[in-house]
Structure 1
Amino acid sequence: MTPPTDGRPAARRIHVSAAVILDAAGRLLLVRKEGTTAFMQPGGKPEAGESPSETLSRELAEELGIRVPADELRALGSFTAAAANEPGFLVVADVFEVDIGAQQPAVGAEIAELRWVGRADAHVIEIAPLARENFLPAV
């Protein structure tokens, strides 16, 4: 990796899959993982041999008890932002829109708290850069 031209060291990258899940009011579902302060989109790092959609399908089941097959996730693209919990790192996220239907998310593995949020909530709680810069609805 080539360092930036301003003399700062190059940021290291963390690859993840992340979900955009909206409720009927248009709020975005965010989670706060155990031992962290920032709320972020549900998702996580791939296991060996997983595609990005398979990673997200597994993470949603583990973290929120939501079952959505990998082939039902709608790819929104790859997004990059400063990592919320790892200074000096960038998170590179394959992001998917997820329709959870009538399923109700519940706190599961690694999750301390979940919230449905809109843009106004960014003044009240700490929101990870990826979600804050790209996916917070105007609600």
Structure 2
Amino acid sequence: MIIKKQVYRADKKVNPLIGILLFFISILLFVFTVPFGFVYALFYKLFKRGLTGIGEYALKIAISVDQLGNVTMQHLLNALWIKDGGYYFGNRDETISSAIGRNKKLGTLTIFGRAIDKLLDIIDPNHSLNSIDYYIEPTERIIDKLAWIHLVEGKILSTRSNGKTKYYIPGGKRELGESDSLTLVREIKEELSVDIKVPSLEFIGIFEAQADGHKPGILVRMTCYAAQYHGQLAPDSEIEEMVWLTYNDRDMVSAVDQLIFDFLYHKGDLIN
């Protein structure tokens, strides 16, 4: 069984006045209840697990504070730490370090952003890159997609859609409420006329890159699985061509697929 964080669902729109009211209520609750809860938790963790328990508790608080900072300071950080076309701060589910890491990969940190990144690296080498959270809720700046990795004799199955010039690893976008397996079953059936065997799903990895055909700073997050299938492979729907590519064909695929090609090649699964 594949267990992952629940699929993100967009928030319902609320009246701004309700948002302001809830903000003040949350501040009052924080001021009057958090100190008692914090002191109780310290003694509870100390009694149950000693200093190790306190350390684990402190780390959880640090991450939560970091996420709060990513929301409250988002506009300032977006103005000072990233260039135009960078990945925005502000996702409530993400830490500041994770957003820095994404911009570091895109090369969109400003002088200030790079200075903060270097400071973090002194404390913890490769801190921002290691902090990238690939399980955060998708936003308008992260396109959430699934991909089926199917290799035969060192070559990877790829497709080309009608009117497109680049090839893509089969798969597609998740629909509202869909699990990974449901998305893959639906997309692969639509594109290649075969049925994925859900019990055979094997998680490969998660890869991110600039999304093709979108403005800078819009990322595509590709969650990849290998799996067996029923049926006869054949292009369907909007798919014009089905091919088997090698690592030498890397320049023919999208930016995120290039990362997947690199990963598979270095593993020895994809031939030249």
TM-score range, shorter chain: 0.7 to 0.9
- Higher RCO (Cα < 8 Å, 6 or more apart): 1
CA deviation vs aligned residue, 1:60-85 (integer Å, no higher than 9, x gap): 11100110133321111221112223
- Residue 256 of structure 2 corresponds to 130
Indicate whether 1:43 and 2:171 are aligned.
yes
Residue identity over aligned pairs, in percent, reads 30
Structure with a larger share of its residues in helix: 2
Which protein has the bigger strand share? Answer: 1
- Using the alignment, how far apart are the partners of 1:85 and 1:37 within structure 2? 12
Please give the per-residue CA displacement for 1:88-124, whole angstroms capped at 9, x wherever unaligned. 22110111012337x432111121211100011235x
In the alignment, what sits opposite 1:8?
84
Q: Which runs of 5+ in 1 are unaligned?
A: none
Unaligned runs of 5+ in 2: 1-69, 88-140, 265-269
Cα distance in 1 for residues equivalent to 2:196 and 2:223: 16
Question: Which amino acid counterpart does residue 83 of structure 2 have in structure 1?
Answer: G
- How far apart, in 1, do the equivalents of 2:156 and 2:202 lie? 16
- SS in structure 2 of the partner of residue 109 of structure 1: coil
TM-score, normalised with respect to structure 1: 0.83
Query: Could you tell me how far apart the structure 2 residues matched to 1:113 and 1:36 are?
Result: 10
1:70 to 188, 193, 198: 198
Distance 1:72 1:109 in 2: 25
Higher Cα Rg: structure 1 or 2? 2
C-alpha change, 1:62 and 1:41, in structure 2 (3 Å) is same
Backbone CA RMSD of aligned residues: 2.2
TM-score by length of 2: 0.45
8 Å Cα contact 2:192-2:233 kept in structure 1: yes
